[in-house]
């Protein structure tokens, strides 16, 4: 069965410090991996994706994520956090054999960046 | 940019009412999805559609139905609303092309059933 785990419900970071939001996955075959961000009372915004190729993927707003096949992880990172990065972050996976483009989402991680 | 719109941002209905949530996308996407989002449970897929008039059940289809008569429009129907259907409802669309398979989301409809 396909699944995604975000082990931390909340991550707290000081502004200017690096941030990491963790994600691990379980899927048959090669995974397609995604990160989304949600601001209060808004829909989800796409940040970045891994399909194939370079394990380090760069996305919107200075975020990047590293695909690690051996650890089945796809952690989201940013070198220097901003207060405006405070939001809810979702990791999602789609299996290679998936029909219809369905994604499996993690539970979400609340990121709080303090000044 | 892809634009996905939902008919209402906030909706209040009474138990037993029939509720229609509408979603429209403007990028000619084949795939469309309805999710509900609840605190601590993430996003759960209700129904999805990969073509006009085609629909597939997601993880939690009970109490819901859908309609897709046109490619750009995907409707979610609550036949008889219940209080446990109070939630945030999110619509999304995507292309089946391998290099652009990410889903694009609407702003959401926060439904309260009294």
| B33 contact residues in A (CB cutoff 8 A) | 101-102
B109-113 and B10-13 strand pairing: parallel
The pLDDT, as a whole number, for residue A100 is 65
CB contact under 8 A, B42 and A106: yes
Say yes or no for a CB contact (<8 Å) between B110 and A41.
yes
Closest by CA to B2, choosing from B109, B69, B74, B101, is: B101
Search chain B and give the residue with CA nearest A90.
B42
Which of the residues in chain A have pLDDT under 50?
A: none
Q: Please, what is the end-to-end C-alpha distance for chain A in angstroms?
A: 41
pLDDT at A102: 84
Q: How far apart are the first and last CA of chain B?
A: 37
Test A101 with B107 for CB contact under 8 angstroms: no
- Note the pLDDT of residue A28: 82
Q: Read off the pLDDT band of B101 (50, 70, 90).
A: confident
How many CA atoms lie within 13 Å of A32's alpha carbon, on the beta-carbon side?
A: 19
Nearest beta carbon to residue B94 from set A43, A44, A101: A101
pLDDT of residue A38: 96
Closest listed residue to residue B90, CA positions, set B55, B50, B40, B43: B43
Nearest CA in chain A to B43: A105
Answer yes or no: are the C-beta atoms of A29 and A21 closer than 8 Å: no
Q: Mutate one of A6, A39, A44 to test the B interface: name it (highest B CB count within 10 A).
A: A44
CA–CA gap between residue A73 and residue B39 (Å, rounded): 24
**CA gap B86, B83 in Å, rounded:** 6
pLDDT of residue B60 exceeding 90, the answer is yes
Please, which residues bridge with residue B49 across strands? B32
């Amino acid at each position: 069965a396909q699944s995604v785990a975000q082990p931390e419900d909340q991550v707290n970071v000081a502004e200017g410090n690096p941030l990491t939001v963790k994600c691990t996955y379980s899927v048959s075959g090669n995974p397609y991996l995604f990160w989304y961000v949600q601001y209060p009372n808004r829909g989800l915004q796409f940040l970045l994706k891994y399909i194939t190729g370079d394990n380090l993927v760069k996305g919107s707003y200075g975020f990047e994520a590293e695909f690690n096949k051996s650890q089945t992880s796809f952690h989201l990172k940013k070198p220097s956090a901003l207060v405006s990065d405070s939001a809810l972050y979702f990791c999602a996976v789609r299996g290679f054999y998936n029909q219809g483009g369905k994604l499996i989402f993690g539970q979400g991680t609340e990121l709080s960046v303090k000044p | 940019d892809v634009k996905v719109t939902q008919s209402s941002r906030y909706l209040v209905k009474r138990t037993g009412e029939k509720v229609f949530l509408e979603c429209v996308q403007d990028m000619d996407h084949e795939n469309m999805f309805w999710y509900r989002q609840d605190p601590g449970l993430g996003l759960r897929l209700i129904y999805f559609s990969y073509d006009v008039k085609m629909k597939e059940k997601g993880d939690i289809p009970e109490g819901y139905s859908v309609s897709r008569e046109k490619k750009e429009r995907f409707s979610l129907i609550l036949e008889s609303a219940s209080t446990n259907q109070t939630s945030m409802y999110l619509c999304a669309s995507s292309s089946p092309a391998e290099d652009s398979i990410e889903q694009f989301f609407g702003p959401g409809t926060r439904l309260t059933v009294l």
